[in-house]
Amino acid sequence: MNISLTINLFQDFSAVRKKKAFSIPLNVTKIEKISNKKYLLTVRYDLRFSKLWLLDGELKEKLLTEKENEKDFIVVDETPFRADGAGWTNGKRTRLFLYDESSAELKPVTEPETFTVNSYTLIDNGKRVAVVGDDFTFKRAGRPGVFIIDIETGKKETVIEEETMAVDTVCPYKNGLLIAATKAEKHGWNERPDFYKYDLSKKELSFISSNEFTLHTGIRTDVLLGAVRANKSVGDTFYTGIIDGYEGPVVRLADDGSLEKIVSVNGNINDFDISGDYIYYTAMEGTKLEEIYRKNLKTGSAECLTSINSAALDDYYIAEPHRIDFENDNVPLTGWILFPKDYEPGKKYPAILDIHGGPCMTYGEIYYHEMQVWAGEGYFVFYCNPRGSDGRGEDFSDIRGKMGTIDYDDIMKFTDVVLESFPDIDKDRVGVTGGSYGGFMTNRIIGHTDRFACAASQRSISNRVSQNVTSDFSWPRGFDSVLDSPWEDIKASWNQSPLQFADRCKTPTLFIHSTEDFRCPIQEGIGMFNSIALNGTQARMCIFKGESHALASKGKPLHRVRRLREITEWMNRFLKKAD
């Protein structure tokens, strides 16, 4: 790979004259060439209005008028009908189409039109496609199936029936398909996928090996840009990122079914590709920002190829994470602490406890912007991976029916250890914050203890009864997390609802939420805000219009700046007033 050549070619592209190749009368989101003149198109298809491409004359005009008259209305007749980051999905499907450039023929590959595609992979040299998806007209399958479709004829072969397995990955593998899937019988939706092979000639699915790793890299940070590759199949070898402890390496599936680590860094590998004897990867190593690396898979030698972000942090204080090992209930746990800028031993400092989302996510030792900002503001910042976090196996991460109990105990024990180990932290000036699950836990904390001087609850959950029937994850994942549905056992949901304890809250709390957060809908933040305010506790709420659940990491730059400023100023107001 010649990085400089690639960049130069890109820079010179603007001088090249652009010539229209062809036009598609549909909302195309991806184009993949499968032969000289044929293309596989991924289309975002509206069941009511995308058929305009088939109409003309009076019928077309009538449907166009109907579409215009409907633009101010949202009617739902299926579930789910919205998805975080994707908006309103009612009546929308992802379909595959074949376009023949030589004849200008456009025809659907996936039928019927109500069938929606989650993911696909080409097989048989582009003659067929393996699809993960399901057909629905009212309630979508909780577990889509796997199908093989002939691109030319549309003939469909069922590999895995809908609702039988939770499918994570499908890709070419040893003249067949590698399928990572689970029946989720032991750990529910947190259960890691096992490996199976589908023999294309025998049409048989056989078990390869069990697995306890999440098949993607994902140590938590708020500075990633772009997509993250989960896995890749090269020849007869399957490669994937995993979360192992608090690092994100890349592994390959060995012939005996085990996962063999091929490249690892002190941090996280975000994306990768294989070319010949080399693996190229983007990674965050230590507290460095993302760069491109290369490793020779034969010799083991590795090198950093770029310095794109090397100077970005030169003028800023960067706190190095100090690891803290501790135990709770005889379970070994890990956390970290960042020291404040210009730290002077013997001087008292405020501190902020930061709680990750998930709960099945992981903190590590890589750069995290918001925490570094607070360290630069003069705070100790501490964070940990309580039970429920990823990277330690399924038993460790499975806290279904126990959210806010043993994980709460772990976080409080960690806080005790930090305050005992670092006496320069002023125990009366400690704040707490977190988003998503971290927001849920922040809400839980303020209803159970007054030890924190202030809190900032972000994109949170307050009522598991309401959240589990309004979230885009409500069924079946939400029910699974509390081990029952609200109508079968409302106590199971209510007992894990921070709103239950809102009248006990005395901690001044900032709530941050987004209007288009469909994962933890805005009423969750409003409910907790109103409840503690009605009981006389100081509160503030900042609402971001048009943002999704991913505001903190993928929101508009101005909104991300405002969010961080809101939290920082709230912490300063209550934790620095004695300075």
Band the pLDDT of 3: cuts 50, 70, 90.
very low
Q: What's phi and psi for 564, nearest 5 deg?
A: -65, -35
* Single-letter amino acid, residue 436: S
Q: Is 142 exposed, middle or buried (0-12, 13-18, 19+ CB in 10 A)?
A: middle
The pLDDT value given to residue 231: 86
Measured distance between the N- and C-terminal CA atoms of the chain, rounded to whole angstroms: 54
Band the pLDDT of 525: cuts 50, 70, 90.
very high
The pLDDT value given to residue 388: 97
Three-state secondary structure readout of 338-385: ECCCCCCCCCCEEEEEEECCCCCCECCCCCCHHHHHHHHCCCEEEEEE
Distance, in Å, from the CA atom of 512 to the CA atom of 500, rounded to the nearest integer, reads 20
The secondary structure element, H or E, covering residue 260 is strand 259-263
**How many CB atoms are located within 10 Å of the residue 561 CB?**
11
Task: Give domain 205-315's CATH architecture.
Answer: 7 Propeller (2.130)
Q: Which of 19-33, 214-228, 308-322, 364-378 has the lowest mean pLDDT?
A: 214-228
Strands 509-514 and 454-458: parallel
Q: Which residues pair with 237 in a beta bridge?
A: 234
pLDDT (tens digit per residue) in 173-212 = 999 999 999 998 999 888 999 999 999 999 999 999 999 9
Distance, in Å, from the CA atom of 336 to the CA atom of 287, rounded to the nearest integer, reads 13
- Tell me what percent of the residues of the chain surpass a pLDDT of 70: 96
- Compute CA distances 14 → 19, 20, 21, 326, whole Å: 13, 15, 17, 56
Question: What angle is formed at CA 139 by the lines to CA 479 and CA 59, rounded to 5 degrees?
Answer: 150
Residue 11 or 545, more confident: 545
The pLDDT value given to residue 479: 84
pLDDT (tens digit per residue) in 284-308 = 999 999 999 999 999 999 999 999 9
Of the candidates 319, 324, 331, which has an alpha carbon nearest to the alpha carbon of residue 420? 324
Q: What is the mean pLDDT of residues 449-455?
A: 98
Three-state secondary structure readout of 163-212: CCCEEEEEEEECCEEEEEEECCCCCHHHCCCEEEEEECCCCEEEEEECCC
318: left (phi over 0), alpha (psi -120 to 50) or beta: beta
pLDDT (tens digit per residue) in 138-187 = 999 989 999 999 999 999 999 999 999 999 999 999 999 999 999 989 99
The fold for domain 322-575 equals: Rossmann fold (3.40.50)
Would the pLDDT of 5 be above 60? no
Distance, in Å, from the CA atom of 577 to the CA atom of 572, rounded to the nearest integer, reads 7
Q: Show me where the domains of the chain are located.
A: 19-164, 205-315, 322-575
Q: What is the mean pLDDT of residues 250-273?
A: 94
Q: Which of 12-26, 225-239, 286-300, 399-413 has the lowest mean pLDDT?
A: 12-26
Cβ(268)–Cβ(248) under 8 Å? yes
Of the candidates 420, 340, 342, 345, which has an alpha carbon nearest to the alpha carbon of residue 381? 340
Distance, in Å, from the CA atom of 443 to the CA atom of 440, rounded to the nearest integer, reads 5
Q: For the whole model, what pTM was predicted?
A: 0.94
Q: Which residues pair with 28 in a beta bridge?
A: 43
The secondary structure element, H or E, covering residue 133 is strand 128-135
Residue linked to tokens 């609200």: 486
Compute the mean pLDDT over every residue in the chain, rounded to the nearest whole number: 93
Distance, in Å, from the CA atom of 97 to the CA atom of 90, rounded to the nearest integer, reads 21
Instruction: Copy the structure tokens of residue 519.
Output: 């994962």
The pLDDT value given to residue 577: 65
- Compute CA distances 522 → 126, 350, 444, 526, 546, whole Å: 44, 30, 17, 6, 12
- Compute CA distances 556 → 15, 553, 559, whole Å: 31, 9, 5
Would the pLDDT of 243 be above 60? yes
The CATH number of the structural domain formed by 19-164 is: 2.40.128
Distance, in Å, from the CA atom of 87 to the CA atom of 195, rounded to the nearest integer, reads 33
**How many CB atoms are located within 10 Å of the residue 239 CB?**
20
Instruction: Copy the structure tokens of residue 377.
Output: 């503001």
